[in-house]
Structure 1
Amino acid sequence: MNEKKDGRLERGKARRELLLDAAVTVIANSGAGLLTHRAVAAQAEVSLASVTYHFPGIAELRQAAFDHAGSRIGLAFRALIEANLETPSSLPELAGNYALTLVGESRQDTVAVFAMILASSHDESLRPVIRELDGHLADLLQTYVGDHSTALILSSSIQGLILTHLATGTGSDELRAAVTTLVRRFASQPEY
């Protein structure tokens, strides 16, 4: 049977993506506390009904926005690491340069993720997403540092440096150097 596609599925996916991009923008510009269906509708220039159709409750919208921004950040870092598996010694520089990407071209996603991390102190439903994102980053760093626990510490430390940069506006060269040095110091020591 030859069925024609009418495009609804693709349009639905595109609309959901548009709404999530708008939600990330709202969070990055105004904070997680001001994320509402109305704010997303206004940012995306769509009807309120469109937002509530895709995300019936605010909890679903918050979780989806956090996952959306976090996934973009995480997938980009994963691709960078996987492209350089043959040269693990380059990880400190890769991490330092990627930190600059996070505060530069990916700034909105980064700010949104940090806003949602802070929001999780009041909204337990966001905590599993945070643990998942932290776990993925630690998985990427584990080979370099030796174990998962140390990788989680390194992940949190990198996040702290990036958050401080976002809050204080320290220079890009300082951020890159700090992240590069930090990752280098966490390198697993060869066993003798």
Structure 2
Amino acid sequence: MRARRTDPGRRDRILDVTLDLIAEVGVAGVSHRRIAARADVPLGSMTYHFEGMDDLLHAAFTRFADRGGERFAQRLGAARDRPEAVTAVVDLVHELSDPRTDAERVVMYELYTLAARDPRYRTITTAWMARSRRELGRHFAPDVTRRLDALVEGLSLHRALDEDPFDRTLTEDAVRRLVGDA
């Protein structure tokens, strides 16, 4: 009898490679074959771990959103008071729009596009936004957290896609005005 090869990290590797490929070629360019080749796994293991491409994409985007939520939790959890929380929010805007995070941003936009069309993916973005607001709620009033969460997304998007991105001063001023610290 042939020994069975074990690869306990295979599912995780497939998910990570899926996210990398989405960043490179978009959801439309991702296939089981490309993922398996890049992850160095047998093509058959794709259907062993995931029911189909939709299941794989859903799991990959859920992982991505969880990581984004962790970033919020770390940044806002480290803030000891409201001024540090304002700084953490400004830092998040600039991290999310930094050219070094282009791959993450592309994955985020791909998720938003799917969520705009498919309620199943909208559950991922809804959970992500709820978590962001919970983390913001550590330091800001509930009526402020929803607006602040939207401001973070909007400022990040504008800063990332503008050919002449604004600086931290504008971001900090916008955050302070919204939270009532202007």
When normalised by structure 1's length, the TM-score is: 0.79
Aligned CA RMSD, in angstroms, stands at: 2.5
In 1: Cα distance, 2:161 partner to 2:37 partner: 27
Note if 1:68 corresponds to 2:63.
Answer: yes
In structure 2, relative to structure 1, the CA distance for the partners of 1:159 and 1:49 (3 Å cut) is same
Letter paired with 2:150? S
Going from structure 1 to structure 2, the CA distance change for 1:126 and 1:160 (only over 3 Å counts) comes to: same
- Do the aligned partners of 1:92 and 1:181 also contact (CA within 8 Å) in 2? no
Contact 1:59 1:125 in 2 (8 A): no
Identity of aligned residues (%): 23
CA 50–151 in structure 1, closer or farther in 2 if over 3 Å, else same? same
Match of 1:110 in 2: 105
What are the within-5 Å matches in structure 2 for residues 87-106 of structure 1?
87-104=81-98, 105-106=100-101
Residue deviations 1:65-109 (CA, integer Å, cap 9, x gap): 11111111210220121122x222112221222233333454423
C-alpha separation between the residues in 2 aligned to 1:116 and 1:22?
16
Residues 76 and 138 of structure 2 are in contact (CA less than 8 Å); yes or no, is this contact kept in structure 1? no
Alignment partner of 1:184 is 2:176? yes
Q: 1:159 is matched with which residue: 153, 162, 168?
A: 153
Is 1:77 the counterpart of 2:66? The answer is: no
Contact 1:73 1:106 in 2 (8 A): no
Paired residue secondary structure (2:65): helix
User: Is 1:51 the counterpart of 2:46 in the alignment?
Assistant: yes
In the superposition, relative to structure 1, how do residues 61 and 181 fare at CA in structure 2: closer, same or farther (>3 Å)?
A: farther
Summarize the Cα distance change of 1:188–1:29 in structure 2 as closer, same or farther, 3 Å threshold: same
Question: Which ranges of structure 2 fall in alignment gaps of 5 or more residues?
Answer: none
C-alpha displacement of 1:144: 3.3
Q: Give the length in aligned residue pairs.
A: 177
Deviation of 1:116 after TM superposition, in Å, equals 0.6
State the alpha-carbon separation in 1 of the partners of residues 41 and 163 from structure 2: 34
Q: Distance in 1 between matches of 2:170 and 2:28?
A: 31
Output the CA distance in 1 between the equivalents of 2:141 and 2:39: 44
Distance 1:29 1:135, change over 3 A: same
CA change 1:152–1:126 in 2 (3 A) is: same
1:26 aligns with 2:39: no
Give 2:73's aligned amino acid.
Answer: R
Does the Cα contact within 8 Å between 1:141 and 1:151 map onto a contact in 2? yes
**Counterpart of 2:171 in structure 1: which amino acid?**
V
